[in-house]
Structure 1
Amino acid sequence: MPTVAAIGLLVGALSFAVVRPRGLAEALVAVPAAALAILTGLVPWHDAATEVKAMAPTVGFLAAVLVLARLAEEWSVFAYLGALAGKVGRTNPKHLLAVVFVNASVVTAVLSLDATVVLLTPVVLAAAIKAGARTRPHLYACTHLANSASLLLPVSNLTNLLAFDASGLSFGRFAALMALPWLAVILVEYAVFRRFFNNDLAATTTPTQQPKVKAPKFALAVLAATLLGFAAADPLGIHPAFVAMAGAAVLAAPKLRRSKELVKAANPGFLAFVLALGVLVLAVRRQGLDDLIAHAVPHGTSLLALLAVATIAAVLANLLNNLPATLVLLPAVQHEPALVLAMLIGVNVGPNLTYAGSLATLLWRRILHATGERPLTSDFLRLGAISVPATLIAGTTALWVALITF
C-alpha cells in the first residue's frame, strides 16, 4: 500500500502539471500531495526538509534566471534576435532555419530552455511569417533545441543544475566535457530537420518588410558578463544563483522595475512545484525504486555503459518527465561524473520523443495553441522517433570521446 500510495501521489501531481486544467498552477496539486506524503509517513518530516534544503539553491537559481530572461526580453534582446533571423533568412528558409538553430542553441545554453520556449518561440514565429517561410521547421526547432541544446552549461537546464551539484565537477570542467556532445547533438538535429522538413523549406511566399531593431548593446553586455561570472564564481564557491541575481539586478536598475513584476517573472508557483516534486520523488524512492535503479544502472564508463545510462534516462524522462527522472537516477550515478553526464544526455535529449517528456515541451505546445499554430501530434512523434535515437547516440559517443581526450 505505501508503494501504491507514493506512486499515486507522484502520478497525480505530474498528470495535473501536464494537463493544467484552466491554466491552473502546477503547484496546486503537487504541494498538497507532498504534504500528504509527509503526514502519512511516506516521507519523514526530517527527510523532506533535508531534500527541500538541498534543492533550495538550485530552485533559487531557476528563479533568478527566469527574472533575467524576462528582463532580457524587456531590453529587446529577443526582438533583436528575431529581426536578425528574419534579415538573414528573408529570401531563403534554409538560411532562416540555420539562424534559428544558432539563436535557440545560444539562448538555451545561456538563459536556459524556458527562455527559448517562452520568449524566443513567439519571436521566431513572427520572423518566419514576415520572411515568407513556412513556420513548422522553425517552431519545432525551438522546442527541440530547448531540450537538446541545454547540454552545454550547468545553468542551461534545471536538470543540469541538479546533476552539477551532485557531480563534483567544476563549472569549466562540466562545460569542457559537454561542449562536444552539445555540438554533436545540434549538428545531428539540424541534419534531421533539413531532411524531415525538406518540402517546407523549399516553399516560400512573398516576404514582408522586416522591422529594424537596434542591437541592445547594454543588455547583451550584461548577459555576456553574467555568463563569464558563472565560470568565475565557481572556483570561489559562489553559487550561480547569486551571479544570475546580480545580472538581473543590473538589467532591472535602469528601468526601476517594481518588485511585484519581478516576483511574477520568477514564477513562484512553478518553484513550489519543483520543491514539492522533489519530496514526492523521494517518497517513491523510499519504496524500493532506489534499489531497482541501482541494479539497472551499469557502473563502468565504457561507451556501452554510457549508452545504457543515457537510454535508461531517456526512457524514464518520457515515462515520468525529465525532472523526476533526474531526481530518481542521481543517487545511482553520482558516484561517477561520466555517468552523471550520460544521464543528462538522456534526460535532456530524450524529451523530444513525446510531449510529456519535458514541461518545457508542454509549455511550447500551449503557446502555439494560443497563437493558432497548433502542432500536429503525429508530426511531433515522427520527428522525435527519428531525431532522438540519432542525437542520443551522437551525443553519448561524443561524450565518450571527450572523456578519453580531455
Structure 2
Amino acid sequence: MRTVVAVAVLLAVLAFAIARPRRLPEAVAAVPAAALVVLIGLVPLRDAWHEIAFLAPTVGFLAAVLVLARLCADEGVFAYAGALAGAAGRGSPRRLLAVVFGVAAVVTAVLSLDATVVLLTPVVFHTAALAKVRARPYAYACTHLANSASLLLPVSNLTNLLAFSATGLSFGAFAGLMALPWLVVVAVEYVVFRRFFAADLATPAVPYEAEVPRPPVFALTVLAATLVGFGVAEPFGIAPGWVAAAGAAVLAVRRTRRPGLARELARAAHPSFLVFVFALGVVVLAVRDNGLSTLVNAVLPDGTGLAALLAVAVLAAVLANLLNNLPATLALVPAVADRPGLVLAVLLGVNIGPNLTYAGSLATLLWRRVVHAHDIRPRGGEFLRLGLLTVPACLVLGAVALWCGLLVAGLA
C-alpha cells in the first residue's frame, strides 16, 4: 500500500506538470505532494531535509545558469548565433540543418538544454523565416539536441549534475568519457533527420544575404571564461553554481543602471521551477524508499561490460518515459553510485530516452509551448516516429562509444 500511494502521488505531480492547468506553476502540485508524503510517514522529515540539502547545489547551479543564459541572450549571443547560422546556410535547407545542429549541440553542452529550448528555438524560427525555408526540421532539431546533446559536460543538464558526484570523476574526466558518445549521438541524429525530413529539406535553395551583427565579444569572452572556470574550479571543491553565478554577475554589471534588473533576473531564474525540483526530489524519495529501489536493484546487471551498459541505458530510457527523466535519475543513480560506467550509462538513457515521448523530459514539454507560440503544431505520432528512429540507434551506438572510452580509461 505504501508503494501504491507513493507512486500515485508521483504520477499526480507529473500529470499536473505536463498539463499545467490554467498555466499554474508545477510547484503548485509538487509542494503539497511533498508535504503529504512527509505527513503520512512515507518519508521521515529528517530524510526529506537531507534530500533537499543534497539537491541544493544542483538547484543553485540551475538558477545561476538560467540567469547566465538570459543575460547572454540580452547581450545578443543567440541572435548572433542565428545570424551566423543563416549566413553559413546560404539559403540551402540541408546546409542550414547542419549548422543548426552544430549550434544547438554547442549551446546545449555549454549553457544547458533549457537555453536551447527557450532561447535558441525562437532564434531558429526567425532564421528559417528569413531564409524562406520550412522551420519543422530545425525546430525538431532544437528539442532532440536539447536532450541528446546534453551528454557532454556535467553542467549540460540537471540530470548530469545530479549524477556527477556519484561518478567519482573529475570535470575533465567526465567530459573526456562522454565526448565520443556525444559526437556519435549527434551524428546519428543528423543522419536520421536528413532522411526523416527529406521533403522539407528538398525545397530549392533561395539566395539569402544574412546580415551578421557585430559579435558580442564581451559576452562570448565571459562565457568562454565561465566554461574554463568549471574545469579549473572543480579540483578546489568550488561548486559549478558559484562559477556560473560569477559569470552571470560579470554580465549583469554592464546592466546595473537598467530599471527593474533585479526583478528580471529573478524571473529568469524561474524560482517556482526550482521549488518544484526540491519538492519532486522528496516525492521521488518516497517512491524510491518504498519499493522502487528494491525493484531497481533486482533488475540491474551485476557487471560493467558492454551488455551491462546497454541494459542500464535502456532501463533508464524506459523509466524516463514512464516517470520523466528527473525522477528516473534520482531513482537509478543511488543504485549504481559505486560504478562510474553505469552512472554514465544511466545518463545515456535519461538524456537520449526523452526524445521518444513528450513526457520524457520537462524540457520537451516546454519546447511544445515554444513551438505552439510559433504556429507549429507538432503531432504526437510524428514525434514518436522520429523518436523510434533515433532513440534506439543512439542508445546502442552511444553505449558502444561509452564502452570504448571506459576501456581506454581502464574503467570497464
| Segments ≥4 residues shifted beyond 2 Å | 204-212
Q: Does 1:268 align with 2:274?
A: no
2:67 is aligned with 1:55: no
Tell me how far apart the structure 2 counterparts of residues 329 and 28 of structure 1 sit (CA, whole Å). 26
Per-residue CA shift, 1:71-123, capped at 9, x if unaligned? 00000000001111111113211110011000000000000000000000000
- Kindly indicate whether the alpha-carbon contact (under 8 Å) linking 1:290 and 1:328 is maintained by their aligned counterparts in 2: yes
CA displacement at 1:259 relative to structure 2:
1.5
8 A Cα contact 1:109 1:152, kept in partner:
yes
State the number of aligned residues.
406
Q: Which residue identity does 2:330 align to in structure 1?
A: L
Aligned twin of 2:337: 334
Superposed CA offset, 1:271-305 (max 9, x none) = 00001010000001111111110111112111000
Distance 2:107 2:183 in 1: 14
1:169 correspondence with 2:205: no
1:365 to 353, 363, 368: 368
**Secondary structure class of the residue paired with 1:371:** coil
1:34-53 Cα shifts (integer Å, max 9, x gaps): 01111111111000000000
* Residue 340 to residue 174, structure 1, CA distance change in 2 (3 Å): same
Take 1:366 and 1:356, find their aligned partners in 2: how far apart are those partners? 13
1:295 — aligned with what? 298
Q: Deviations over 1:111-149 (max 9, x none)?
A: 000000000000001101111211111110000000000
2:39 matched to 1:44?
no
The correspondence of residues 351-362 of structure 1 with structure 2, limited to 5 A, is 351-362=354-365
8 Å CA contact 2:87–2:209 kept in 1: the answer is no
Gaps of 5+ in 2: none
Q: Measure, in 1, the Cα distance between the counterparts of 2:32 and 2:134.
A: 44
Displacement, 1:208?
Answer: 5.9
Counting only pairs closer than 5 Å after superposition, residues 14-163 of structure 1 correspond to structure 2 as 14-163=14-163
**Is the aligned partner of 1:401 residue 2:404?**
yes
Which residue identity does 1:234 align to in structure 2? E
Given that 2:61 and 2:240 are in contact with CA atoms closer than 8 Å, whether structure 1 keeps it comes out as yes
Amino acid at match of 1:307: L
Looking at structure 2, the residues matched to 23 and 221 of structure 1 have their Cα atoms a distance apart, in angstroms, of 37
Q: Distance in 1 between matches of 2:376 and 2:230?
A: 36
Please list the CA deviations of residues 292-337 of structure 1 after superposition, one character each: whole Å capped at 9, or x if unmatched: 1011111211100000000000000000000000001011111100
Letter in 2 for 1:334: A
* SS, match of residue 375 in structure 1: coil
Question: 1:341 and 1:208 mapped to 2: Cα distance?
Answer: 43
Distance apart, 1:22 and its partner CA = 1.9
Q: How many angstroms apart in 2 are the aligned matches of 1:208 and 1:86? A: 8
Counterpart residue identity of residue 249, structure 1: A
1:312 aligns with 2:332: no
Secondary structure at 2:254 match in 1: helix
Q: Is the 8 A contact 1:6 1:37 kept in 2?
A: yes
1:207 CA drift (Å): 5.7
| Identical-residue share of aligned pairs (%) | 65
CA contact (8 A) 1:130 1:207 kept: no
Contact 1:132 1:204 in 2 (8 A): no
SS in 2 for 1:41: coil
Contact 1:90 1:132 in 2 (8 A): no
Distance in 2, Cα, partners of 1:21 & 1:288: 30
Q: Partners in 2 of 1:398 and 1:299 — Cα distance?
A: 20
Report what 1:225 is aligned to. 225
User: Structure 2: how far apart are the matches of 1:19 and 1:268?
Assistant: 19
Please give the alpha-carbon distance, in whole angstroms, between the structure 2 residues aligned to 1:206 and 1:242. Answer: 46
